[in-house]
Structure 1
Amino acid sequence: MSLSPASSTLRRAVAVTAGAAALTLGLAVPALAHVTVNPGSAEQGGFTKVAFRVPNERDNASTSKVEVAFPVDHPLPFVSVKPVPGWDVKVVESKLPKPITTEYGEITEAVTKVTWSGGKIEPGQFQEFEVSMGMLPKDTDRLVFPTAQTYTGGEVVKWADEPRADGSEAEHPAPVLKLTPASAEGHGHDTATSDGPATSTTDAAPSVTPVAAGESASDGTARLLGGAGLLAGIVGVAVGVLGLRRGGRTS
């Protein structure tokens, strides 16, 4: 059975649309598989905890080493890492090319690289490497962490491309942590994701006993009235007992 020209045109349009969608999805998959830092943003001037998420992009090899370079133009005075089962971690602290003056004094050395090795990220899997760090700088809106991913076959993929000015994604983008101005409530400390040595600049509230914390004005009034009623009852009983004693003596 032959198709009408309109039906033939419709079928071609559907085929072209489907092909374009498949091509778009095919191009989008590799873009989603790069190394990233999560969460992707934090407040300036505070501490935060992030995870470097590393997916394995190869079908015939495993990721065996991950090296993350830390910025030297905006060094982080405090860096600590969370152990990952099956992986060895090495934190490298180096002298800075130029000392940095901060509100905590002059910084001449800082963590410049963290390396995880000895483990494996198998094909189709990913691993997260957690780091706590601060104080986050206040004079920049982002921190870039160039990362090298090594596979068991010897291949090294460098995720080190800086963000592009036009907003488009580079071929091998480096993990980027965006920094936002500190909120009035947070005082520059990222309390939602932070496990650093300081999460707030406010003093701790004085402790309150559980009983006092649970009392209200009505509770206190009720207890006062209850006590008065109990006292009146005791007096009444005493008066009754004295009356009985007197009655017995009179008889």
Structure 2
Amino acid sequence: MSPTSTTLRRTGTLAALTLAGVLAAAGAASAHVTVHPESYAKGATDGVLSFRVPNEEDTASTTKVQVFLPTDHPVLGVLVTPQAGWTAKVTTTKLKKPVKTDDGTITDAVSEITWTGGRIRHGEFQDFDVAFGQLPDDTGRLSFKTLQTYSDGSVVRWIEEAKAGADEPENPAPALTLTAGGAGAEASNGSGGAAGSDADSAAPSSASSSKDTKESTASDTADDSTARSLGTAGLVVGVLGLIAAGFALARGRNARP
């Protein structure tokens, strides 16, 4: 085999392996179970959390999803949105520390939601929507540990919590950031403070805020997808540059007397 052929073969093999690694990394980065939106105001009321579950297996489908809600900082008034083909089982737990609200003292809260009966195939994802009455106001972050079960019996445990200043763990738990709300802002918009006391005036404001939240979430998701696409494209361009350099080197050697 000529030196030129050997160089081209090695260059092609290296490029193929590099490109495969790039595409695998890009797929893994988007395969985590996540919660949307990524943030809400502390004490926010009457909102929706959407748990996005992608399928990352080539030969198996997701058949069961278990989301565990924290009970040390409980989410109150949880309601599950029906999902076609899926059956939801809601488990409640008695709180160690009851929560006082305007409607009375809450002694029980939802601690687990399990969806079964459906199927998320390769290349697909499913959003599981959960409505809440009130988020806690005594913490800055909520983690929702999640178990994802596949049709082949394997289970992926999305339970690792990210550490400040550290790299993202391999199997991070979906996390919701709770921010300090501005004075007079509606809690239900995901960025404000406590809701107003006048129910009649709060209703239209809440609807408007819900719309703003969905638009903001869609924008954030689009920006995130664009950033990932640009990053992947840049890496692919680099690989193509490596291939071109290999061919140029091979031609140069072949042209020498």
- Please, what TM-score do these two structures have when normalized by structure 1? 0.67
With over 3 angstroms needed to count, the CA separation of the structure-2 counterparts of 1:103 and 1:165, relative to structure 1, is farther
With over 3 angstroms needed to count, the CA separation of the structure-2 counterparts of 1:182 and 1:201, relative to structure 1, is farther
Q: Deviations over 1:159-190 (max 9, x none)?
A: 00011222421110000111111233423232
Unaligned runs of 5+ in 1: 193-197, 206-251
Q: How does 1:55-70 map to 2 (within 5 A)?
A: 55-70=54-69
Cα distance, 1:104 vs. partner?
A: 4.9
1:156 maps to amino acid: V
Give the structure 1 partner of residue 231 of structure 2: none
* 8 Å contact kept, 1:191–1:199: no
Give the structure 2 partner of residue 41 of structure 1: 39
Give the structure 2 partner of residue 146 of structure 1: 145
Cα distance, 1:153 vs. partner?
A: 0.9
Unaligned runs of 5+ in 2: 202-257
SS of 2:200's partner is coil
* 8 Å contact kept, 2:184–2:196: no
Q: Distance in 2 between matches of 1:154 and 1:69?
A: 20
Cα RMSD (Å) = 3.1
Give the structure 1 partner of residue 135 of structure 2: 136
Cα distance, 1:202 vs. partner?
A: 3.7
Give the structure 1 partner of residue 154 of structure 2: 155
Q: Distance in 1 between matches of 2:195 and 2:23?
A: 42
Give the structure 2 partner of residue 184 of structure 1: 183
Q: Distance in 2 between matches of 1:151 and 1:90?
A: 18
Query: Between Structure 1 and Structure 2, how many residues are aligned?
Result: 193
Cα distance, 1:203 vs. partner?
A: 5.0
* 2:100 is aligned with 1:96: no
Give the structure 2 partner of residue 209 of structure 1: none
SS of 2:25's partner is helix
1:90 maps to amino acid: K
1:30 maps to amino acid: A
SS of 2:52's partner is strand
Give the structure 1 partner of residue 118 of structure 2: 119
* 8 Å contact kept, 2:160–2:169: yes
Q: Deviations over 1:188-232 (max 9, x none)?
A: 23279xxxxx96534535xxxxxxxxxxxxxxxxxxxxxxxxxxx
Q: Distance in 2 between matches of 1:19 and 1:188?
A: 49
Q: What is the identity percentage for the equivalent residue pairs of Structure 1 and Structure 2?
A: 45
With over 3 angstroms needed to count, the CA separation of the structure-2 counterparts of 1:200 and 1:80, relative to structure 1, is farther
SS of 1:29's partner is helix
Q: Distance in 1 between matches of 2:185 and 2:62?
A: 38
Q: Distance in 1 between matches of 2:26 and 2:169?
A: 13
- Please, what TM-score do these two structures have when normalized by structure 2? 0.65
Cα distance, 1:101 vs. partner?
A: 4.3
Q: How does 1:1-251 map to 2 (within 5 A)?
A: 23-47=21-45, 48-102=47-101, 104-190=103-189, 200-202=196-198, 204=200
Q: Distance in 2 between matches of 1:191 and 1:147?
A: 23
* 8 Å contact kept, 1:191–1:200: no
Q: Distance in 2 between matches of 1:169 and 1:130?
A: 25
Q: Distance in 1 between matches of 2:29 and 2:169?
A: 9
Q: Deviations over 1:83-126 (max 9, x none)?
A: 00011011111112343445654332110001110010011110
* 8 Å contact kept, 1:146–1:159: yes
Q: Distance in 2 between matches of 1:203 and 1:114?
A: 30
